[in-house]
Structure 1
């Protein structure tokens, strides 16, 4: 009989080598720097750093998107666990009973306060089994080394994760304009739908509701892209374009805005390479600055244009553009090929294409 070990493995995504190196580097820097700072603050104190921080670093740097790795969890979870551990160490003389009860109570309290952090179980146990140096601290153990270590490691995790482009801490995908779902959510799976399903789950899932929403939304988009009748950007883009040049005077740009009644125009060089965009509101802001004698003088388009521009390719499915027009309220998106501007897609183009697809479905 052949024994297959595959069924023992978790259904877990294996990250690329680069990302795995980032995780390891983050843990290395986080533990080294935070322990060094703890040593500077606490001096020769024997318990200036505690082992559970190693487990916390796995969460903070390897799976920072996990609900168990969020700032509330590491700070509040470790604090409650330390408090419970100290109480058990002081009032329960039998060691086995003390650390067992400390971990059990810590789990209950953390789950009740939505601050579950697995390494906190080791914090509670350390308070009981940490030896004379820990016992001598009493309730000071909560403030240092536990809370001090937690805050230092958390601060480094925030700086490191954001420095490499990760979103940490995780934030909710909410409609910033009202309490309603976002426009995309209104016509798809809404947050309340996910909440209703999760309400019937009897097991704790190591993924947040917001991650589920994002994954489901992306999965819907991938499924829609498989449609054989999907439009491509080249099918609806405008090719006869009105453009600005970087060396154009801002007054010239304003004249073009008046001429064509557009909210934004692309900025190109002599070869047609896209350099940025200039929006009408940026010209209006320039007028306000020009009235201030202390403001630096600006006369050309390149001085006020937006250089960071979202672009798409001609062969890109039109469905890719929906989040920009719907969620981020874009008016236009440039279409580029080898960095050169070849077209523009407006919100009106998108509406016309979507209307055509709806008519096809009805037919």
Structure 2
């Protein structure tokens, strides 16, 4: 019995060594990935058929592999638009060339895949399904060989662009950043404030340059992960203040039915850049920034904008809020990375206070003084 148990445990451990260290997504996310691939392949296939008509090679199998990357792992560097379009085009061109000038099929598709890998890596357009595109160009039969270099334009480039367009729309609808932005700090090319005092992008680049293997993770994702880890580390070291302990309770606010001119006067006299907006029940319904008012002034000469006369017509309805009992370290990313000036504190839906950047600075200053005194 013990021998059977030992063998079972050994087999389980051995199997685990074969598995990738890969996060298993919740069922809902896995379902959405599958639905995305279904829609992407079906729609791009139908459009290709409609454009190309009776052409036998109106759709190619490697698009199925591309759909795995575009819909299941859109954050992968191998799934970016440049990779699918340029990678597939390079592979198709090399595959057609090898098919034309190398009569031995085994030699032709082997050389085609090898050259495709070298050129894709040289142009930073590596896309694994492109290897199958190169093989399809060689082994695709008479219908593909008859196309010659037209195979690069259609069906390869046409299929790639259609599938890519659907992937961009679908991922955006799900709230995913695809294609990925070039860097974490979207305001400037500088590192974020947290990065300046911890691990900077240049540090990551220096380490990646020493790697001899290609990692299927972007520098952008590494930066995001490090920032998220840094937030958790900071949370453990922070003072245990809650929002209700440092918030301002006497908050200047606008009513959603206030005239916009009234709001402009408030901004002028209070020297503020933005204000919370509430309804008659004092529930937070939005926020109004000074630039919203300035944009309204520019539109006021246009007859199409003449109906806008109340705060609710131009306010922003999406507002980041916190709860009174929420620890203040939850707010740090908004003030540091996103440059918020204040965050409303709500209980239920009612506005009960405001935590500003100056409130956070005061707390952090007090904490620094405490640590200095503790040293002495």
Structure 1 residues 149, 346: closer, same or farther in 2, change over 3 A?
same
Distance 1:302 1:317 in 2: 31
- Written as runs of structure 1 = structure 2, the 5 A alignment for 1:79-98 is 79-98=89-108
Distance 1:164 1:273 in 2: 29
Residues 293-340 of structure 1 show CA distances to partners (whole Å, capped at 9, x for unaligned) of 664143322222221111122222322222322333221110112121
- Written as runs of structure 1 = structure 2, the 5 A alignment for 1:169-248 is 169-173=179-183, 175=185, 178-227=188-237, 229-248=239-258
Distance 1:127 1:93 in 2: 13
Q: Report runs of 4+ in structure 1 exceeding 6 Å deviation.
A: none
Could you tell me whether the CA contact under 8 Å between 2:238 and 2:329 is conserved in 1?
Answer: no
| Aligned-residue offset at 1:244 | 1.8
- Indicate the RMSD between aligned Cα atoms, in angstroms: 1.8
Which residue pairs with 1:309 in the alignment? 319
Structure 1 residues 302, 228: closer, same or farther in 2, change over 3 A?
closer
SS in 1 for 2:241: coil
Could you tell me whether the CA contact under 8 Å between 1:290 and 1:297 is conserved in 2?
Answer: no
Distance 1:78 1:124 in 2: 8
Q: Which one is further off, 145-154 or 183-192?
A: 183-192
Pick one of 271, 275, 281 that aligns with 2:291: 281
| Aligned-residue offset at 1:184 | 2.4
| Aligned-residue offset at 1:94 | 1.4
| Aligned-residue offset at 1:141 | 1.1
SS in 1 for 2:207: helix
Which residue pairs with 2:70 in the alignment? 60
What's the TM-score, normalizing by structure 2? 0.91
Pick one of 356, 360, 369 that aligns with 1:346: 356
| Aligned-residue offset at 1:56 | 0.4
Distance 1:139 1:287 in 2: 56
Which residue pairs with 1:337 in the alignment? 347
Structure 2 unaligned spans of 5+: 1-6
| Aligned-residue offset at 1:45 | 1.3
| Aligned-residue offset at 1:175 | 4.3
Residues 263-311 of structure 1 show CA distances to partners (whole Å, capped at 9, x for unaligned) of 2221112322101122233334434444556641433222222211111
Structure 1 residues 281, 32: closer, same or farther in 2, change over 3 A?
closer
Which residue pairs with 2:81 in the alignment? 71
Residues 162-188 of structure 1 show CA distances to partners (whole Å, capped at 9, x for unaligned) of 111111001122545554322222122
Residues 112-155 of structure 1 show CA distances to partners (whole Å, capped at 9, x for unaligned) of 11100000000111111111111111111111111111111111
Which residue pairs with 2:369 in the alignment? 359
| Aligned-residue offset at 1:60 | 0.5
**Aligned: 1:100 with 2:103:** no
Q: Which one is further off, 231-240 or 185-194?
A: 231-240
Number of residue-to-residue matches in the alignment: 363
Distance 1:299 1:191 in 2: 46
Could you tell me whether the CA contact under 8 Å between 1:225 and 1:317 is conserved in 2?
Answer: no
Which residue pairs with 2:332 in the alignment? 322
Residues 68-117 of structure 1 show CA distances to partners (whole Å, capped at 9, x for unaligned) of 00000000000111111111111112111111111111111111111000
Structure 1 unaligned spans of 5+: none
Which residue pairs with 2:48 in the alignment? 38
Distance 2:330 2:289 in 1: 23
SS in 2 for 1:299: coil
**Aligned: 1:16 with 2:29:** no
Which residue pairs with 1:149 in the alignment? 159
What's the TM-score, normalizing by structure 1? 0.94
Pick one of 104, 127, 145 that aligns with 1:135: 145
Structure 1 residues 289, 82: closer, same or farther in 2, change over 3 A?
closer
Which residue pairs with 2:4 in the alignment? none
SS in 1 for 2:120: helix
Could you tell me whether the CA contact under 8 Å between 1:127 and 1:135 is conserved in 2?
Answer: yes
Could you tell me whether the CA contact under 8 Å between 2:87 and 2:120 is conserved in 1?
Answer: yes
